[in-house]
Structure 1
Amino acid sequence: MSIADNLIAFTFAATLLTLTPGLDTALILRTATLEGKAQALRAALGINTGCLLWGAAVAFGLGALLAVSELAYNALKYCGAAYLAWLGLNMLLRPRKSLAPIDTATKHNQNWFLKGMMGNLLNPKVGIFYVSFLPQFIPQGQPLVAWTFALVSIHVAIGLLWSTLLIAATQSLAGILRGEKVVAWMDRATGMIFVLFAARLALSKR
């Protein structure tokens, strides 16, 4: 395939990957609905920063370690599962019944950027995916590092665009969804999703 064909094929594949509902989508929707668009944008930026860092790891060979080392893969896998379980259980066992005003929530930042980034970085499947997926779209003879970063940048751009659309879509319903019972339900539902993803990650194989 030509360089243009590689870029088009990767963009299409990355778009399908981004649109597939998963942990990142759940986190952004929940944060946008309950915390406001500023906090949700922080979470989205954190998630995509994690993608960039994984891309750097793959470009410089660190990501390949996960593909060949069972110990490294399992260590990161269990750390990621524990982190997701901790986040999920907190939401399940201690759901909120009300929200602080958005300005107050922003002032007392819960660091959704860090939560989004850590959730991404502690998932070794992202690294394995990049290691196995990206090389298929790098033309033979082209510089590995430059192309890896170029492809990851495309993936990040698509992710940010999709996150922005998700955040915008929740704003018209945000007032309704901030009711006392809905807030508690959203926390519990998101917590359950996080716990299920934690279990799936902990029990997963390569």
Structure 2
Amino acid sequence: MFITFEGIEGTGKSTQITLLKAHLETLGRSVLVTCEPGGSRIGRELRRVLLSLENSDLCARAELFLYLADRAQHVAQVVRPALQAGQVVLCDRFADSTVAYQAFGRGLDADLLHSLNELAVAGTWPDLTILLDIDPRTGLERAMARNAAEGKTVAEGRFEAESLAFHQRVREGYAAWAARFPQRIRLVEAKGTPEDIALHIRELVEARLNV
């Protein structure tokens, strides 16, 4: 099973992935945790370019193609082999991020980006996408505090430096995309306790796993 986690900055995706991994392992599942950008060896090189605050001059189209290259390599080298081996794959961001950030955030064409994603994933779409939703101001505050605590303000702070209006567009884009693909994308409020959020996610996942 392939499960992706989406949402604007600071929604707590990493925390929820960690909690879900632990739960699935208690059920006897083999779990692989990965991310985009950076889930493959080549992807880690691309991640440095894409997230560094030093690359604030990266144009929207170049940004898009770097994300697509990262995704194609990630699927071929990491995601598809793990699924073929019978593992549950939990991925922090995937193709929906490209639509939310580069289409709704940057203004590129959403349908075109979806077609390009189809090419990049080569048929490997998530079985379930958890969309964690939070107010952009709260999310940005969380994300910037996290980056500061981890010393990543420059190395991985390019999107946190975007305007509040940008993040609002991204949030609205995610909501619109979830409405377009309601069977796959399930929205989860991210303003409760981590434990309450994890319980909601667990129920969604177990329904798909038929546990």
TM over 0.5: no
Q: Which structure has greater strand proportion?
A: 2
Given the two structures, how large is their TM-score scaled by the length of structure 2?
0.30
Q: Which has the higher contact order (CA 8 A, sep 6+)?
A: 1
Given the two structures, how large is their TM-score scaled by the length of structure 1?
0.30
Q: Which structure has greater helix proportion?
A: 1
